[in-house]
Structure formats: structure tokens, C-alpha cells
Amino acid sequence: MKLSLIPLCVLAHSAVGCALNAVAVFKNDQGAHGVASFSQEKTHGPTTIHVEVWGLPEGNHGIHVHEYGDLTEGCNSTLAHYNPFNKTHGGPTDEERHVGDLGNIYSPGPDQSAVLDITADLISLHGKYSVVGRGMLIHSGEDDLGRGGSPLSNTTGNAGGRFLCAPIGWAAPKAN
């Protein structure tokens, strides 16, 4: 009966608290892999995101929610950064930014885990702007947060290739 709470919660548009959890599981052909976990305690509250990835080259890597959870053309078919309010690309705390702009995840090297914990006030698992069903992306290069002065700074942060991607789905309830 626990499972029936998830669709109820989504449909209710409730003003009361309604905790939802989502997850994206990454894996690529170069042996990199990891998990991004999303948790939103209150319907209109922030979403906490915990990311842990192995196999990322040393350095900063742009991390975003992209528009679609569609991997038919690999990471390319996730298309652009999720941007329902038609903003310019920015950093995760900038006033002007895409909803999907989460900044960078730092990797100490491919044999160690790269961890990112963020509280994202624009990311929601509820309602029409829910990111569930969209795509989570980790790039080969660093996101310049819109400040790099390259032609791509204002759209992608010039973060380079698409290294890891995964659709964001509802998380199964934890057995505990």
C-alpha cells in the first residue's frame, strides 16, 4: 500500500508536506558509474540532492538537469538544460539561471568517489515543473557558470562533452 502514496502525493498539489524521492543511476561505456538521489520533504520546499560518482577524471564537471529523460541518442537526446522560465545559464545560486543549473561536481580522481550535496530551491519533484522523467547529466568539463565569456557560456556553461547521463525516476521506498 506504500506505493500508492506516490501518485496521490503528485496529484494532490497539497499545501501540506508531501515527501517525494527520486533517483538517477549513471553508467557509461568507460566504466564510470554513480547515483544521484533527490529528496523533497515539502511540496513547495527545496529538494536536497546527493550525488556520488566513480570514474570521473580529476577536476570539476558540470552537472545539470536536462529537459528530457530520453537516451535514444545517448546523452544527446536529453537536449538542453531544463529551463521552463526561459532564463540565461548561470551558477546554482545565481538569480539568473536555468532550473537545471546545479554547478559542478568535483572529482579527486577516477579511482575515488566524487560527491556533491546540494539543496536546490528551484528543483521540484512535485507539480508541473517536476524534474521526474527528465535527464541528469554530468559533463566532461567544468561549467563556467555563465562567466567564461565563450559563446557557449550563456547556454551550457561551456562544460564540454556529455560524460554520464540518466533519466530521473521515482525512487523505490527504502526497506528499513
Query: Contact positions toward Cu ion, by CB under 5 A?
Result: 64, 137
Selection from Cu ion, Zn ion, none that 89 binds (CB < 5 to 8 A by kind) is: Zn ion
Instruction: Name the minimum Å distance from CB 145 to Zn ion.
Output: 9
Among 67-75, 88-96, 111-119, 161-169, the segment contacting Zn ion (CB under 5 A): 88-96
Q: Which is nearer to Cu ion, 64 or 126 (CB)?
A: 64
Give CA–CA dist 141/93, Å, rounded: 20
Buried b (16+ CB within 10 A) or exposed e, 25-55: ebebeeebbbbbebbbeebeebbebebbbeb
Selection from Cu ion, Zn ion, none that 134 binds (CB < 5 to 8 A by kind) is: none
Q: Which residue has the cell 526497506?
A: 175
Does the protein bind Zn ion through residue 101 (CB under 5 A)? Answer: yes
